Structure 1
Amino acid sequence: MTADDHAGSDPAAAAEAATTAILADLARADRRAVVVDSPPGAGKSTLVVRAAGELVAGGERPIVVAQTNNQVDDLVAGLAGAHPDTTIGRLSASGYTAPPTIDSLANAVVATRVADLAGCRIVVGTAAKWATVRDEVFGWAILDEAYQMRSDVLLQTVERFERGLFVGDPGQLDPFTVLDTERWVGLPYDPTSNGVTVMLEHNPGTPVHRLPVSWRLPATAAPTVSRAFYPFAGFTAGTGEGVRALDFGTAGFGSTALDETLAMAFSTGWALHELARRQVPRTDAETIQAAADLAVRALDRGAIAACERHPDGRVLDARDIAIGVAHRDQADLVRIALARTGRPHAAGVAVDTANRLQGREFELVIVVHPLSGRRDATAFHLETGRLCVLTSRHRQACIVVAREGISDLLDSHPSTDPVHLSVPAKFPDGWEANQVVLAKLAEHRVAG
């Protein structure tokens, strides 16, 4: 029986079957690389921790390559906790200061040189740091968030290991650079392509596995996110209908659009808080304020979340809520709008761009739609990965704040992107993904 056969009736069995197949490929001597595609919240970090332990048990001394310092710190903490008898090395830059979560670990060592981590069975560092290492080769490397790793960075690190496990989410944002990359498009050594794609092009026959279950997304969200962003590798939610629920701790203060939107999101898992049609700059004050007010309103009313972790429910605080935007200036304005509400308890709400929210998880997510109020649909705002990140961070509910007219904008938007030889068309494209998401949101529309 395959993982797909299990998925409909037993998500845990499907996930375990997929993991067993992945670990079996790691044990094969003829595998130089193994790729694992993962939907949002499918347990990539859990897989990395487990795979590292299996490699150590088999006599290997693997390295783990992540993309950011925060990811490295999280992995070090996870590895140290799951393998208390194994010493974990944290390879860092000279200016790195270990957070308390790392300092308090009895089986973790921090150093700036690989030689100083000789006694560590697993060594974890950023791709940028591993690119500076020149004096040692390891048998196995586990590359976390591998689809967010540029191929030129992979080229700088690939000499440090003989075989690699590439783990990542193909639906997330592609690697990016501020340089003009037109001259490299379509070439086999395009440095802006992600590491997984380039590796597969040069290593045909590499096994590609996928994790079939999202443990983050609720049953109300998984089908839509799967259809919009993962049409060729669908996945299911790890929890069934009714396992997760949101409720209010206090009654509403009269019927307002904010309360109606929250009630819609709490009861169905989705809400579209739609403002009047208008072409506006991306710093549109009304849209920004609506996103901030929704977060504050949820906190003021003592939102309570029940789930498999807290079946009796718990009151959400600011750390459980995120507001996602497309641009950094929008994030700055949302923070100002939150402060302007005068609610101290709203200070901890996470406000950031899709790039920075990538990989994070919250109970309630409020999204300012990238195409809201625009008169055109640029490649940046149509980026499939951006919308995927914004609409897949939540465990309970997602609220999208937007001005009316996005569907009309998409219908009237001709594609002006250049077509390059040797570059396969990306699918699903931003137009199709947006239409799928908007069709779902139309069922949960509340006029703002």
Structure 2
Amino acid sequence: MSPTRSTATTSSDASAGHLPCPDPARVIEAVLGDLTSGDHRGVVVDSPPGAGKSTLVVRAAGVLAATGAPLIIVAQTNEQVDDLIDRLGGAHPALPVGRLSAVDYVPSERVRGHPRCRVGVKVADLGEPAVTIGTAAKWATVTDGVWPWAIVDEAYQMRSDALLRVAPRFARALFVGDPGQLDPFSTVEVDRWTGLSWDPMQSAVAVLLRHNPDLPVHRLPVSWRLPHTAAPVVAEAFYPFTGFRSGTGPGDRSLTFGRPADDERDAVLDTAAATGWGLHELPARFTVRTDAQAAAACADLAVRALAREAVAVSEKGSARLSADRVAIGAAHRDQAAAIRSFLPPWASGVTVDTANRLQGREYDLTVVLHPLSGRQDATAFHLESGRLCVLTSRHRHACVVVARAGIADLLDAHPSTEPVHLNVPVKFPDGWEANQAMLAHLARSGPGRHR
């Protein structure tokens, strides 16, 4: 993540979680004002976790559609597309929406539930909807037509080459994304392009601002997902130059258990419920990636939280903690599969997935298998600040981190020595620093830390 200009906040104090933040409604109005006026071709909005990014996208779509000019929405995954269609249907049920899809796409229940959504493989199949929405990969196959407006969702996770292929399809655009989370990724080696101006692994926003330095940049200042116990921690570790605050304060949310504590798992859960964070620390050991003991611990914590009949209270009301409101996150798919194998059938509704697939989603309680747990080395993949940021910012109430002891020693033995490349902006914070900040907070979490 590279620091960017902001029209919303000017302080760069490192204690970002406590920065004074502007009124969210005023920021949104400023975004919409910049988008519909002036001679610039785009507006960038930085959004911390749970700051209402999707709400902004849906509201902006409604405002632009009301002008009578059609627009397109570019998302990065099919899940994101279907979620946005569902939100559009709830906010603007009379708005005609076209869902651009692949030949083998099967409409999800969210899409089928939209009263005026039409699905098609080609733009011509959709009629003339007010909003046409599809993935960046699908829009790259569209070679005809220009729309007056576009909204690019999760723009920081969009590769620059994908933006170049889609850019001819619109005149002006709103780019919305989270600069602190996962960067664009590829399954092939990309070192050959590092430092080159045409490096496809640059994010769409990085390239956009490099070539258009005068574009307005706004920041949403409030996270409505993260509780007051989490916003300062996440802001300090992953957003040191921008800052944001929680939309809730002490006493606004609570997580309580209906059954008393019996063992150390319960002590960790009780600490997490009281303070927002818990660390379940296993004995130090170098392990294979699919560490069975760590995987079992992650599953056990989730199962125990459900078995203790937890109740989550928030501004949305009071509800029993159900399996679909619990998530377990890991760095790799094989780790997620190992964790899933330890869940009993009655807890199969618990979401178990990688950071890449959990991005953009939220739960009441999350359990995280630390990316560096049991490792002998600290690779760039496992040190990436965005990966840990996603894993530790999905929760509305509490997050429990499962890790083997010794991660701090591992970080000290592998200091930040990433090579410096010409023409590559330095990322802030780097993964080494972000991991140290998060570990320091977890170490202070009190009696929830166990061996």
Same fold (TM over 0.5): yes
Asked if structure 2 preserves the Cα contact closer than 8 Å seen for 1:77 and 1:102, the reply is: yes
User: Does 1:83 find its partner at 2:86?
Assistant: no
Per-residue CA shift, 1:134-179, capped at 9, x if unaligned? 1210011100001111111111111100111110000111111122
User: Does 1:370 find its partner at 2:371?
Assistant: yes
Match of residue 228, structure 1, among 234, 237, 248: 237
Q: Which amino acid aligns with 1:318?
A: A
Per-residue CA shift, 1:175-202, capped at 9, x if unaligned? 1112221111111110111111011111
Partner of 1:142: 151
Asked if structure 2 preserves the Cα contact closer than 8 Å seen for 1:4 and 1:14, the reply is: no
The separation in 1 between residues aligned to 2:418 and 2:167, in whole angstroms, is: 33
1:105 deviation in Å?
2.2
Query: After the TM superposition, which segments of 4 or more aligned residues of structure 1 sit over 6 Å from their partners?
Result: 7-11
Q: Which amino acid aligns with 1:321?
A: V
User: Does 1:402 find its partner at 2:409?
Assistant: no
Q: Secondary structure at the match of 1:45?
A: helix
Matches for 1:9-48 after TM superposition, within 5 Å: 14-48=23-57
CA RMSD of aligned residues (A): 1.7
Per-residue CA shift, 1:108-157, capped at 9, x if unaligned? 11111112323311111111111111121001110000111111111111
User: Does 1:393 find its partner at 2:394?
Assistant: yes
Q: Secondary structure at the match of 2:340?
A: helix
The separation in 2 between residues aligned to 1:392 and 1:46, in whole angstroms, is: 18
Q: Secondary structure at the match of 1:74?
A: helix
User: Does 1:271 find its partner at 2:272?
Assistant: no
Asked if structure 1 preserves the Cα contact closer than 8 Å seen for 2:443 and 2:449, the reply is: no
Q: Secondary structure at the match of 1:42?
A: coil
Asked if structure 2 preserves the Cα contact closer than 8 Å seen for 1:304 and 1:316, the reply is: yes
The separation in 2 between residues aligned to 1:112 and 1:381, in whole angstroms, is: 38
The separation in 2 between residues aligned to 1:301 and 1:123, in whole angstroms, is: 45
Normalising by structure 2, report the TM-score: 0.94
Q: Secondary structure at the match of 1:293?
A: helix
Per-residue CA shift, 1:46-86, capped at 9, x if unaligned? 00011111111223211000011111111111112211222
Partner of 2:221: 212
Q: Secondary structure at the match of 1:425?
A: coil
Q: Secondary structure at the match of 1:363?
A: strand
Partner of 1:447: 450
The separation in 1 between residues aligned to 2:400 and 2:49, in whole angstroms, is: 18
Quick one: percent identity of the two aligned structures?
Answer: 60
Match of residue 183, structure 2, among 170, 174, 182: 174
Matches for 1:246-265 after TM superposition, within 5 Å: 246-252=255-261, 254=262, 256-265=263-272
The separation in 1 between residues aligned to 2:136 and 2:122, in whole angstroms, is: 14
1:344 deviation in Å?
2.9
Matches for 1:424-443 after TM superposition, within 5 Å: 424-443=425-444
Per-residue CA shift, 1:226-283, capped at 9, x if unaligned? 011011110000111111110012223x3x1101101101111100111112222222
Q: Secondary structure at the match of 1:447?
A: coil
Asked if structure 2 preserves the Cα contact closer than 8 Å seen for 1:40 and 1:392, the reply is: yes
1:29 deviation in Å?
3.7
User: Does 1:308 find its partner at 2:302?
Assistant: no
Match of residue 281, structure 1, among 285, 288, 294: 288
Asked if structure 1 preserves the Cα contact closer than 8 Å seen for 2:19 and 2:244, the reply is: no
Between 401-410 and 379-388, the greater mean CA deviation after superposition? 401-410
Q: Which has the higher contact order (CA 8 A, sep 6+)?
A: 2
Asked if structure 1 preserves the Cα contact closer than 8 Å seen for 2:19 and 2:245, the reply is: no
Asked if structure 1 preserves the Cα contact closer than 8 Å seen for 2:150 and 2:172, the reply is: yes
1:416 deviation in Å?
4.0
Normalising by structure 1, report the TM-score: 0.94
Partner of 2:13: none
User: Does 1:56 find its partner at 2:54?
Assistant: no
Asked if structure 2 preserves the Cα contact closer than 8 Å seen for 1:3 and 1:15, the reply is: no
Q: Secondary structure at the match of 1:175?
A: coil
User: Does 1:299 find its partner at 2:302?
Assistant: no
Match of residue 318, structure 1, among 323, 333, 336: 323
The separation in 1 between residues aligned to 2:19 and 2:160, in whole angstroms, is: 38
Q: Secondary structure at the match of 1:446?
A: coil
Q: Secondary structure at the match of 2:341?
A: helix
The separation in 2 between residues aligned to 1:305 and 1:3, in whole angstroms, is: 33
User: Does 1:98 find its partner at 2:98?
Assistant: no
The separation in 1 between residues aligned to 2:126 and 2:40, in whole angstroms, is: 27
Asked if structure 1 preserves the Cα contact closer than 8 Å seen for 2:19 and 2:243, the reply is: no
The separation in 1 between residues aligned to 2:346 and 2:137, in whole angstroms, is: 37
Asked if structure 1 preserves the Cα contact closer than 8 Å seen for 2:86 and 2:113, the reply is: no
The separation in 2 between residues aligned to 1:175 and 1:232, in whole angstroms, is: 21
1:8 deviation in Å?
7.7
Report the number of matched residues: 437
Asked if structure 1 preserves the Cα contact closer than 8 Å seen for 2:8 and 2:218, the reply is: no
1:224 deviation in Å?
0.5
Q: Secondary structure at the match of 1:90?
A: strand
The unaligned stretches of length 5 or more in structure 2 are 1-6, 11-16
The separation in 2 between residues aligned to 1:60 and 1:26, in whole angstroms, is: 14
The separation in 2 between residues aligned to 1:447 and 1:97, in whole angstroms, is: 46
Per-residue CA shift, 1:407-430, capped at 9, x if unaligned? 111122133422211112111001
Partner of 1:153: 162
